Amino acid sequence: MFQTAAIVLAAGQGKRMQSAVAKQFLLLNNEPVVCHSLRAFEESDVETIILVTGSDEIEYCREEIVKKYGFKKVSAIVAGGKERYHSVYEGLCALSGVLAADGIVLIHDGARPMITQEIISRTIEAAKEHGACVAAMPVKDTIKVADADGFAAATLDRSTLW
């Protein structure tokens, strides 16, 4: 039984980017973006990784991501669902029977390559202490609330936003 697992979501289509290539497969430093996320978990205290991708990307991920880059902790590559929460569910199903009842599951967007060992370790420790946690960064941008006509109605206090 595993005590810690990560579900790395890589099933997005990148519609908002209007790119022919999904953002998790775009190259960053000559490697697909998802590799940077997977490597962070591979080198962490996480014991197993579930990679969730599109049903037509499973073989590509197996050969061109997991095997090519030598990710040993990826224990399953599963098809995601229509929405992110469906994909999370599929990842959790893949952990059924292999994760200890008191185990910790980290869920990460594979198109977010800046995850670090420190963030992973702090997240695991906070989950152990509090039962759950969310890793987040403080907002740096000014956030405006718009009225029904699209005009700025209020400015949110960014010191309370993450």
Rounded to whole angstroms, how far apart are CA atoms 39 and 47? Answer: 13
Unique residue bearing structure tokens 């198109």: 111
| Averaged pLDDT score across all residues of the chain | 92
So what's the pLDDT on residue 11? 84
Q: How far apart are CA 112 and CA 77, in angstroms?
A: 18
pLDDT at 16 over 70: no
**Residue 130 CB neighbour total at 10 angstroms:** 8
Percent pLDDT > 90 in the chain is 80
What pTM does this model have? 0.88
Count Cβ neighbours within 10 Å for each residue of 66-80 and write b for 16 or more, e otherwise. Answer: beeeebebbbbbbeb
